[in-house]
Amino acid sequence: MLRQRVVTASVLATAFLLVLFYGPWQIFAAFTGLVFLLSSWEWADLSGFSSKVSRSCYTALTLILGLGLGWAAGWGYQKPWLQLFFSAVVCWWVIALVLVKGYPGNTALWGGKWVRAFMGWLVLLPAWIACIYLRSDGLGPWVVLLVVLIVATADITAFFAGRAFGKRKLAPRVSPGKSWEGVWAGMALAALLGLCYNLFFEGISWLNLVIIILPTAFASVLGDLLESMVKRHRGVKDSGSLLPGHGGLLDRVDGLVAAGPTFSLLVLFTGWSL
């Protein structure tokens, strides 16, 4: 199993880096679009659509909605529209935090099949638009990579710090292993990562970088928790089996779906560009 996990992770990481650094933004948009479409296939099942026909219809509708949003956003170039869009998305993630903290007492609000399906679009589509914006707006591959590293740093640090020092549970009914101590440690190390990053890429103040990174790191945890909540309600451990040794593709991008729009909104408000 370990060998399988390593091989799968290596292949995915290599493909991602090649497309990110050596392809035009349109290829990156197509690549990430495929990732989120496959994730929507998995989300359809988490929503309660078990048949291949219903899951295919949900995925096709996701594609149509995604293309419509991409066109409305000018494929990453209409900044006033994007500010409003990402502001609304971040408000949704605040609502998601309330849902996670209130689980399972509030499942009557969101446990219905079509409500969960709509939640999937709120989760996946803005993340894709964020990927396109960050890659196409002159910010470039290194900023996209920074978002990925923030998510990975916050996740890995929270896991180990939580096991070593965790006492106060973050959302025990959703993810018993997560603690506030782990979250704070993950955010702190992500901020340190930003400091190292800023040594190589000037153009933004350390204060602004912290303002961007800390909420992004916290949002990544929230994305993970929301997916865990929906999986727990559905009664499954993984979102799917598309990735050998890793479970579902959605399990690998759950932190990015919240971190990407949060990071993008803060970049727009701080005026950061490389």
- Using alpha carbons, select from 213, 177, 191, 218 the residue that is nearest to residue 93: 218
Instruction: Determine the structural domain holding residue 99 and report its residue range.
Output: 2-270
Give the largest Cα separation in the chain, rounded.
51
pLDDT above 70: residue 274: no
CA distance 126 to 86: 7
Whether the bond between 104 and the residue before it is cis, its omega within 30 degrees of 0, is: yes
**pLDDT recorded at residue 218:** 96
- Using alpha carbons, select from 264, 220, 11, 1 the residue that is nearest to residue 128: 264
Q: Tens digit of pLDDT for each residue in 199-235?
A: 776 667 788 888 899 999 999 999 999 999 999 999 9
**pLDDT recorded at residue 150:** 95
Give the E-state strand segments of the chain in sequence order.
169-171, 175-179
Q: pLDDT-based confidence at 23, cuts 50/70/90?
A: confident
**pLDDT recorded at residue 259:** 97
CA distance 192 to 186: 10
Q: Tens digit of pLDDT for each residue in 167-182?
A: 899 999 999 989 999 9
Q: What's the whole-model pTM score?
A: 0.93
Q: pLDDT-based confidence at 196, cuts 50/70/90?
A: confident
The number of distinct structural domains making up the chain is: 1
